[in-house]
């Protein structure tokens, strides 16, 4: 693994636990667990950034969360969002360092698959333009596919995040094929001048394969860290994953 490979911790599932009891309530109501405390613990443990997904249905992260995180965290804020006017206006007010445009389906449990940047090209153009004009680095969460990477280049984004879900959810020969796709996509995108991140389904076991993929700059990981934190605590869970990333 390159020493430059960084970890962005997605804390959406901390908010999921909070909303299970305190639906619609904010940090000022003394509800728990505290998203701000979670972010600070992740940073203290070595995270290079904090990732959250402000969904249209507000199932976990709330509007106020992203503003408070923007004020509190010391690393960087990576805001995942669907291409919707309402969320775009919030992003332009929050001004996170990074925005990652993702597909969004109200019926899904979590994000399923990558954004069809090629098929939704025209709809993405004005959103990407407005984010870039605001000084926000734009990324697209896409499948490890040359057609989608080409669309990202045509849109003028500096960064992509490869969807690793098919890799994480497969075994045997299909698993190795998906790993090869990720490797080829990372090399192709890097050759076109893109920063290459990856995420979805990466855990303490398959990280051993992902860390060997060339040209990756950052991994955005959440579910496995929060799951591990139940047993060892959040700070230890983050430190353990960073250690695994370093082999």
Asked if residue 187 is part of any domain, the answer here is yes
Q: Does residue 1 lie in a domain region?
A: no
Per the structure, the count of domains in the chain is 1
**How does pLDDT run across 146-159, given as a tens digit for each residue?**
999 999 999 999 99
Q: Kind and range of the H or E element at 219?
A: strand 216-221
Residues with active-site annotation:
53, 80, 200
| pTM confidence score | 0.93
224 assigned to some structural domain: yes
Q: Considering only residues 60 and 23, tell me which one the structure prediction assigns the higher pLDDT.
A: 60
Q: CB–CB of 139/100 below 8 Å? A: yes
pLDDT digits (tens, 9 = 90+) for 4-55: 799 999 999 999 999 988 875 555 567 899 999 999 999 999 999 999 999 9
pLDDT at 195 over 90: yes
- Rounded Cα–Cα distance for residues 119 and 140 (Å): 13
**What digits encode the pLDDT tens for the residues 113-148?**
899 999 999 999 999 999 999 999 999 999 999 999
* CA triple 18-66-22, angle to 5 deg: 20
Contact call for residues 87 and 47 (beta carbons, < 8 A): no
Residue 198 lies in a domain: yes
Q: Is the CB of residue 102 less than 8 Å from the CB of residue 115? A: yes
Cβ distance 77 to 94 under 8 Å?
yes
31: CATH? 3.20.20.70
Would you say how long the chain is, in residues?
A: 247
Residue 2 has what pLDDT? 43
Within a domain: 186: yes
Q: Could you tell me if residue 229 is inside a domain?
A: yes
- Domain span at residue 65? 6-245
Residue 241 lies in a domain: yes
Residue 65 placed within a domain: yes
């Amino acid at each position: 693994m390159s020493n430059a490979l960084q970890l962005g911790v997605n804390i959406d599932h901390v908010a999921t636990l909070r909303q299970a009891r305190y639906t619609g309530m904010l940090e000022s109501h003394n509800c728990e667990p505290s998203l701000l405390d979670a972010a600070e613990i992740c940073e203290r443990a070595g995270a290079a950034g904090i990732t959250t997904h402000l969904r249209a249905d507000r199932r976990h992260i709330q509007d106020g969360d992203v503003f408070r995180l923007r004020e509190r965290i010391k690393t960087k804020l990576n805001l995942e969002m669907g291409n919707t006017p309402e969320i775009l206006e919030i992003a332009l007010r929050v001004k996170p360092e990074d925005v990652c445009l993702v597909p969004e389906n109200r019926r899904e449990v979590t994000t399923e698959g990558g954004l069809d940047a090629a098929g939704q090209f025209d709809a993405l153009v004005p959103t990407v333009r407005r984010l870039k004009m605001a000084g926000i680095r734009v990324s697209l969460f896409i499948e490890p596919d040359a057609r989608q990477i080409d669309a990202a280049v045509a849109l003028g984004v500096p960064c992509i995040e490869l969807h690793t879900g098919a890799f994480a959810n497969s075994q045997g020969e299909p698993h190795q094929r998906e790993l090869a796709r990720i490797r080829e996509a990372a090399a192709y995108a890097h050759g076109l001048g893109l920063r290459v991140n990856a995420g979805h389904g990466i855990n303490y076991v398959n990280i051993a394969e992902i860390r060997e993929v060339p040209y990756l700059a950052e991994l955005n990981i959440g579910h496995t860290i929060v799951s591990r934190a139940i047993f060892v605590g959040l700070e230890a869970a983050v430190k353990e994953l960073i250690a695994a990333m370093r082999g």
